[in-house]
Structures are given as C-alpha cells and as structure tokens.
Amino acid sequence: MMLKLYFVGFLIKSLLTIGIETQPAHGSLKPRNVQFQSRNFHNVLRWQPGSFLTSNGSVYFVQYKMYGQRQWKNKTDCWGTTALFCDLTNETLDLYEPYYGRVMTARAGSYSAWSMTPRFTPWWETKLDPPAVTTVPVNGSLLVLLRAPELPYRNRKGNNTSTENYYNLVYRVFLIDNLVEKEQKAYEGTQRTVQIEGLTPRSGYCIVAEIYRPMLGRKSPRSERRCVQIP
C-alpha cells in the first residue's frame, strides 16, 4: 500500500514539474511587439519572434478585423508565413475606421497564444513622406513645384489618389542661401506652386520642403535639398 501511495505521489509531482517547465516554453512562442506601421496609408503589420526565439523554424498566422466585428478574418497570403510582416493595406481601405490585427506562432508542433495589436486607425496614425519637389530657376526668382505623396492604391476610376484627398495639407518651403548657408522660411500655405522672388542672379540656392497637417499637429520629414543656380 505504501509503495502504491509513493508511486502516485511521484507521478503527480512529475506531472506538475513537466507543466511548470513547459509553460514558459509555450509562452516564449508568442509574437512580441505586434503593431501596425503605416506610411502614406501603406499599412503593414509587423512583429518580432517570441522571447528566446529566432524566426528560423517558426511560421506565423495572421488575422485581422475592423473594430466592432466579432469574427476575425484570415489573411490568406500570411497564413503560415515565415516573414515577420504582413501587408494589410487592402484589408484596411476604410481609412477612418479602426482595425485590429493579431499573430500566432507555430513551431515544432506547438502553437502560441494570439498576440494582438493596439487599435489602429489609418487616417490618424499614418505617417506622410515629404513632398516631391521640383525647382525651375527663372530670372531673379525660383519656381517651386510641390506634390503630395500618393496612396498605394487607385480610386474607382483607376486614377492615382493623393493624400490631399484626406487631409488639409500645408506646405512649408525653406530657402537656403548657399553663400552663407542661411535658411529662411520662404513660404507656408496650401498652394503647390510657389514663386520665390528677389533672388540674386548668378547665385546658388537650395530648397527643402515639408508637409504639415494642422488638424493633427504633425509634420513630415523634410525633403532632400534641391539646389539650383539663378540665371
């Protein structure tokens, strides 16, 4: 009888030990830092492998849904992917609606719990690139042409869509005198064509520009310098 009780006690202790040891292993599979990264409404879900893991040998399963929906939807192109990202641009086309994404890891026959993003609203959270800048030197002046970033998809008519369709954009243009490397704001407004006058002939100037979204209080990075010689 004593031998039987000893064996049962040993078995229970062994099972408890196994449970304690395997729980961290399964927890380490769970993807970390699952979040949307959005630039010009190109919305990509990104994550990192679970703790103490590399991406080698792991596959991932991605689902998404709009806020308020009960059912999650599988992202077919990212169902069993080995990548650490998933493009959900076409699944998040309603730019004013909030979305969620989530990721699960599978490795060596084990599966992690789902790891979910915070709420993501493209219109609120996307980052804008700087405007494209074209400069045309004219006698004593400089014509600056600005173009807002385009969206990664077309409208129903098949035309490219600009971020101007979704924001009231303000353009800021800065003039740099190459002789003294002095910068000044030459323009701030909504016009995409800017004429900067009163420049010194046969002198060099550079232009940089940025986009400002007043409603959100955010600005883009600055564009690369566009340098010209005034005739």
- Residue 99 lies in domain: 26-124
Whether residues 68 and 109 share a domain: the answer is yes
Instruction: List the CATH number of the domain containing 155.
Output: 2.60.40.10
pLDDT in tens for each of the 231 residues of the chain?
Answer: 443 434 334 333 333 333 323 334 456 889 999 999 999 999 999 999 987 666 678 999 999 999 999 999 999 999 999 999 999 999 999 999 999 999 999 988 899 999 999 999 999 999 999 999 999 998 889 999 999 999 887 766 767 789 999 999 999 999 999 877 789 999 999 999 999 999 999 899 999 999 999 999 999 999 999 999 998
Whether residues 136 and 198 share a domain: the answer is yes
Query: Residue 178's pLDDT is what?
Result: 86
Q: Which of 124, 140, 166 is the last residue of a domain?
A: 124
Q: Which of 91, 124, 157 is the last residue of a domain?
A: 124
Query: Residue 4's pLDDT is what?
Result: 40
Whether residues 89 and 153 share a domain: the answer is no
Number of domains in the chain: 2
Query: Residue 23's pLDDT is what?
Result: 38
Query: Residue 161's pLDDT is what?
Result: 86
Is 13 part of any domain? no
Strands (E), the chain: 32-39, 42-48, 59-66, 73-81, 85-87, 99-107, 110-111, 115-116, 132-138, 141-147, 150-154, 160-162, 170-177, 182-189, 193-197, 204-213, 218-219, 226-229
Query: Residue 155's pLDDT is what?
Result: 67
Alpha-carbon distance of 67 to 17, in angstroms, equals 41
Whether residues 202 and 136 share a domain: the answer is yes
Q: Which of 82, 105, 124 is the last residue of a domain?
A: 124
Whether residues 223 and 142 share a domain: the answer is yes
Whether residues 132 and 213 share a domain: the answer is yes
Is 166 part of any domain? yes
Query: Residue 182's pLDDT is what?
Result: 86
